[in-house]
Amino acid sequence: MTQGSMRQGAEGPEIWLRGPVADTVEPTRWPEPAGDEPDHLDVGPRRYAWVATHGGAGTTTLAAVFGGHDAGRNWPRPDQGEPGSVLLVGRTHAAGLDAVSHTLDTFRRGEAPPGLDLDAVVLVADAPGRLPRPLAQRVKVIDSMIDVYQVPWIPAWRIGDLTSAPPRETAALARLTGAARLP
């Protein structure tokens, strides 16, 4: 069964599934809480590693603005204290979208290093304005496989000014990463 495929069987109607599906799915069994355990867990915000799918993708800028670990074009090393939660980053030009698709395929085939969790793709605008239709269609295909967050063209970032709050179009990404300066 492939990602984004339909599953049909005796269990019920056809449904769309996102991601790999095992032939048999066992329900999750949660242990009963012990009497002396707290009712909640105190957990900090999830830590992310920004992984560039190609040179110039923008991981350094995104890490500076939203926090997290800038892994550049390297895989993070959770065994050395780096976050195992990965946000793949690419530009919205044709070569950038090709690189994102290639890296997504690496995860799909199980060839990414063990211990990494692919959480989302972040696409950074390569120019101001709307995407041309062929590129927008490619983004739609990627978005059918995994959550996609888009970062618009930000002229101040181009000249290295990262002091202002990110634009409101990045609010969902700021919430995901736990960035302190929400737009």
Containing 158, the helix (H) or strand (E) segment is: helix 155-158
Q: How high is the pLDDT of residue 46?
A: 75
Tens digit of pLDDT for each residue in 97-118?
Answer: 999 999 999 999 999 999 999 9
Tens digit of pLDDT for each residue in 132-160?
Answer: 999 999 999 999 999 999 999 999 999 99
Q: Say if residue 7's pLDDT is above 50.
A: no
Structural domains of the chain in order of their starting residue, each with its CATH number: 48-177 (3.40.50)
Pick 58 or 33 by higher pLDDT. Answer: 58
Q: How high is the pLDDT of residue 165?
A: 83
Q: How high is the pLDDT of residue 26?
A: 52
Tens digit of pLDDT for each residue in 54-75?
Answer: 999 999 999 999 999 999 999 9
d(CA 70, CA 13): 43
